[in-house]
Amino acid sequence: MTTAREIMTQSPRCIGVNDSLRIAASVMADLDVGALPICGEDRKLKGMLTDRDIVVGAVAKGMDPETTPAGRLAKGAPVTIAADDDVRIVLERMQRHQVRRLPVIENHQLVGIVSQADVALSLSAASTGKTVEGISQ
């Protein structure tokens, strides 16, 4: 059985709930990623922030990226998986919720992210194709 822990990107960089959207965008650019977990001081996951959230959810609505905190865009409970969940659960959850990235939680702490790219690098072409198709519906 392959687990989320085996395919995840470990120790993802978090953006703090009070960090500005400009800081978040800068971190995304530095890391060449399109999404970051939003974490509290306790390193507990508060949400996910995408480059699209910043542009469409904030800038297009007139929010100032210098003063708008990342936490303002955290909506609802993020979809997560446990580190020891079977990869079949990972794929099913990505498809059901149509998300390209899943935060991985262990002992209530963020320990990793499973992205669509992690799936592609770790699993068969058939599994990857089915997952991408399910996410994109």
Interval 54-77: pLDDT, tens: 999 999 999 999 999 999 988 778
Superfamily per CATH, domain 4-135: CBS-domain (3.10.580.10)
Q: Can you give the pLDDT at residue 132? A: 65
* Residue 5 backbone zone (phi > 0: left; psi -120 to 50: alpha; other: beta): alpha
Q: Can you give the pLDDT at residue 124? A: 75
pLDDT, tens only, 13-41: 999 999 999 999 999 999 999 999 999 88
CB atoms within 10 A of CB 15: 26
pLDDT band at 44 (very low <50, low <70, confident <90, very high): confident
Q: Can you give the pLDDT at residue 119? A: 87
Q: Where are the domains of the chain?
A: 4-135
Q: Can you give the pLDDT at residue 129? A: 72
